[in-house]
Structure 1
Amino acid sequence: MDFELQITDPKSRARTGKITTDHGEIETPIFMPVGTVGSVKGVHFNDLRNDTHAEIILGNTYHLYLRPGLKIIEKAGGLHKFNGWDRPILTDSGGFQVFSLSGNRKLKEEGAIFRSHIDGSKHLFTPENVVDTQRIIGADIIMAFDECAPGDADHKYAKNSMQLTHRWLQRGITQFDATQALYGHSQTFFPIVQGAGFRDLRKQSAEYIASFEREGNAIGGLAVGEPPEVMYEMIEVVTDILPQNKPRYLMGVGTPVNILESIALGVDMFDCVMPTRNGRNGMLFTSRGIMNMKNEKWKDDFSLLDPEGTSFVDHQYTKAYLRHLFVSKELLAAQIGSLHNLAFYLWLVKEARKHIQAGDFSEWKDNMVKQLSVRL
């Protein structure tokens, strides 16, 4: 993987760049639709390519490991061939999913023992076998196995968790460097900064992660219950330390406002289930504000779904029709909502890129943040 830093905004830390992988180029800042089990829920890949213009999607190691399982993925020739997505893929290590199991997992120095949410079977994830698993899945960018501390963790817990993540990182890097990609394309390994909401821990973790000089770095353990101002403070601490010439990936964040504010703090890559999850439930994000498509007010509104939207659904369907679909619990409603929101998120980061290039990102961002919070 190669990263080219292009332009930095004069009034913020926002920047544009280009990531080059064996499966194609990614222009940053970028949003990655979440394809947890190898699919973006309810959205065809043709629409992801040609309508939302997604450049990279994300898969999840925990879910793909459990189902369909590594034997099937390896037999298929890796996830790209299994699901037919021919552009870059990133896989999360599954750490967040394992630790969200709470009572169904046990943490040890060796790794995490957990029970499957599918059938209750017992499994062990270690820093080493998570690398091996992601080798088999075959994503272009793979993540270190880490512990994600809860947002309300105290300093002692957060410190112990961070130190465990660091020890696991050393083991993961050793395993990654000692193994080879399986399917003829290269893979890149990203470490993850942890430290919960504590400046001293985030600084320590960012310095430790930066010392490994990997091709890219991630920021984890945010948007897990802490106030937004704490999240932004931690991002600023971390991006002040992580190297300028490497892409920075903020994991699992977030709302359109979160993304714009984080771009301003120097983040390049984002993923979140919010656009598809909210879209399936009738909440649509637009450049003018947020629409709840289940509201009575749209019942006889025959105007286009979003005249300023970039998806074909925005110009093919009306607000009244989409509300009818949601009230009728039609599957098409969830598909339209998901596709609209993904197209909006991709439009938002690409628009941010344009304004960074034009030199007026900060002004545009401040105006957009105000508009994005309006309830229509």
Structure 2
Amino acid sequence: MKFELEKVDPQSKARTGTVTTEHGKIETPIFMPVGTAGSVKAVHQKELSEDIKAQIILGNTYHLYLRPGLGILEKGGGLHGFMGWEKPILTDSGGYQVFSLAGTRKINEKGVTFKSHIDGSKHDFTPENVMDIQRTIGADIIMAFDECTPYPCEMDYAKKSMEMTHRWLKRCISHFDQTEGKYGYSQTLFPIVQGSVFPELRKQSAEFIASCDREGNAIGGLSVGEPAEMMYEMTDMVTNILPQDKPRYLMGVGTPANILECIALGIDMFDCVMPTRNARNGMLFTSEGIINIRNEKWKDDFSPLDSGIDAYVSNFYSKAYLRHLVISKEMLGAQIASIHNLSFYLWLVGQARQHIQRGDFSVWKDSMVKKVSTRR
């Protein structure tokens, strides 16, 4: 993987760049649709590529390991071949999913023992076997195995967790560097900065991750319930430490406003389930604000979902029609809403990229944050 830093905004830390993998290029800043189990919910791969214009998607190690399982994935040629996606893929190591299984998992120095949410069977994740699992899944960018601390938590717990994550990272790097990919292309390992919301821990973790000198870096453990301003403070601190010439990925973030504010803080890559999850519940993100399409006010509104963005679904279907589908619980409603929301997110980061290149990002961002945060 290679990263070329192209332009930095003069009024902020926002920047544009290009990540090059063997499955294609990714223009940053970028949003990655979440395809947890080898599928971005309610969206065909053709729509992902051609309508939404996704450049990279995300899969999840925990879910793919449990189902369909590594044997099927390997026979299918890795996740790319199995799901018919020819562009880059990033996999989360499963650390966050294990974190969410608080009642059925045990963490120790070796790794994590957990029970499957599917059938209750016991499994072990270690830094070493998570590298092997992600080698088999075959993502272009893979994540180190970490512990995601909850919010709130005591500083002592956050410190011990961070230190263990750092020790796990050393094991991930050692094992990753001693193995090779299975499908004839290279893979890249990103370490993850932890430290909860404690500035001294975040600083220490960012310095350690920077010293590992990998091709890119991730920031985890945020967007887990802490106030947005606290997330911005931690992100700002970490991007001051992580190297300028490598991509920075803020995991699990977030709302359109979160993304814009964090682009201004120097983040290059984002992912979040929000656009698809909220779409299935009738919430639309648009260039003029947030819409609950279930509301009565949209019943006879025949205007497009969002004429402000260049996307087929957003321009073609009316609010009245989508409301009818959602209220009627027609599957097409979830599909249209999901494609629209993802199209909007990709449009938003694309607009950010253009304004950074023009040199007027900060003015545009301040105006856009107000718009996308408005409830219509």
TM-score by length of structure 2 reads 0.99
Q: Distance in 1 between matches of 2:193 and 2:348?
A: 26
Instruction: Say if 2:316 is the partner of 1:307.
Output: no
Deviation per residue, 1:53-100 (Å, 9 max, x gap): 100000000000000000000111111001000000000000000110
Partner of 2:124, secondary structure, is strand
- The equivalent of 1:201 in structure 2 is 201
Q: Distance in 2 between matches of 1:268 and 1:315?
A: 28
Instruction: Say if 2:241 is the partner of 1:244.
Output: no
- The equivalent of 1:317 in structure 2 is 317
Q: Distance in 1 between matches of 2:338 and 2:297?
A: 21
Deviation per residue, 1:335-370 (Å, 9 max, x gap): 011000000000000100000000000000000001
Q: Distance in 1 between matches of 2:309 and 2:68?
A: 36
Deviation per residue, 1:169-190 (Å, 9 max, x gap): 0000000000001100100000
- The equivalent of 2:266 in structure 1 is 266
Whether the 8 Å contact between 1:112 and 1:124 is mirrored in structure 2 is: yes
Q: Distance in 2 between matches of 1:5 and 1:315?
A: 33
- The equivalent of 1:214 in structure 2 is 214
Q: Distance in 2 between matches of 1:218 and 1:53?
A: 23
Q: Superposed, which structure 2 residues align to 1:85-124 within 5 Å?
A: 85-124=85-124
Partner of 1:124, secondary structure, is strand
Instruction: Say if 2:373 is the partner of 1:366.
Output: no
TM-score by length of structure 1 reads 0.99
Instruction: Say if 2:138 is the partner of 1:143.
Output: no
Q: Distance in 1 between matches of 2:368 and 2:32?
A: 21
**Farther off after superposition, 308-317 or 136-145:** 308-317
Give 1:309 shift. 2.8
Amino acid at match of 1:16: T
Q: Distance in 2 between matches of 1:28 and 1:304?
A: 28
Q: Distance in 1 between matches of 2:22 and 2:371?
A: 38
Instruction: Say if 2:297 is the partner of 1:291.
Output: no
Partner of 2:18, secondary structure, is strand
Deviation per residue, 1:33-70 (Å, 9 max, x gap): 00000110010111111111100000000000000000
Q: Distance in 2 between matches of 1:288 and 1:169?
A: 42
Q: Distance in 2 between matches of 1:5 and 1:304?
A: 37
Whether the 8 Å contact between 1:52 and 1:343 is mirrored in structure 2 is: yes
Whether the 8 Å contact between 2:28 and 2:269 is mirrored in structure 1 is: yes
Whether the 8 Å contact between 1:311 and 1:339 is mirrored in structure 2 is: no
Partner of 1:114, secondary structure, is strand
Instruction: Say if 2:25 is the partner of 1:25.
Output: yes
Q: Percent identity?
A: 70
- The equivalent of 1:155 in structure 2 is 155
Instruction: Say if 2:202 is the partner of 1:226.
Output: no
Whether the 8 Å contact between 2:31 and 2:270 is mirrored in structure 1 is: yes
Give 1:250 shift. 0.2
Q: Distance in 1 between matches of 2:221 and 2:88?
A: 24
Deviation per residue, 1:98-126 (Å, 9 max, x gap): 11001110011100000000000000000
Q: How many residues are paired up?
A: 376
Q: Distance in 2 between matches of 1:44 and 1:285?
A: 20
Amino acid at match of 1:8: V
Q: Distance in 2 between matches of 1:63 and 1:229?
A: 31
Partner of 1:326, secondary structure, is helix
Amino acid at match of 2:196: A
Amino acid at match of 1:143: M
- The equivalent of 2:2 in structure 1 is 2
- The equivalent of 1:346 in structure 2 is 346
Deviation per residue, 1:258-301 (Å, 9 max, x gap): 00000000000000000000111110011100110000101111
Give 1:154 shift. 1.2
- The equivalent of 1:82 in structure 2 is 82
Give 1:235 shift. 0.1
Instruction: Say if 2:332 is the partner of 1:336.
Output: no
Q: Distance in 1 between matches of 2:310 and 2:341?
A: 10
Whether the 8 Å contact between 1:300 and 1:320 is mirrored in structure 2 is: yes
Q: Distance in 2 between matches of 1:323 and 1:123?
A: 43
Amino acid at match of 2:154: D
Give unpaired runs (5+ residues) of structure 1: none
Deviation per residue, 1:180-213 (Å, 9 max, x gap): 0110010000000000000000000000000010
Q: Distance in 2 between matches of 1:162 and 1:95?
A: 13
Give 1:314 shift. 1.6
Q: Distance in 2 between matches of 1:189 and 1:314?
A: 36
Whether the 8 Å contact between 2:287 and 2:306 is mirrored in structure 1 is: no
Partner of 2:195, secondary structure, is coil
Q: Distance in 2 between matches of 1:121 and 1:373?
A: 43
Q: Distance in 2 between matches of 1:174 and 1:358?
A: 42
Detail structure 1 runs of 4+ shifted over 3 Å in the superposition. Answer: none
Amino acid at match of 1:41: K
Q: Distance in 1 between matches of 2:240 and 2:151?
A: 22
Amino acid at match of 2:242: L
Partner of 1:246, secondary structure, is coil
- The equivalent of 2:35 in structure 1 is 35
Whether the 8 Å contact between 2:112 and 2:126 is mirrored in structure 1 is: yes
Give 1:311 shift. 2.2
Q: Distance in 2 between matches of 1:210 and 1:146?
A: 16
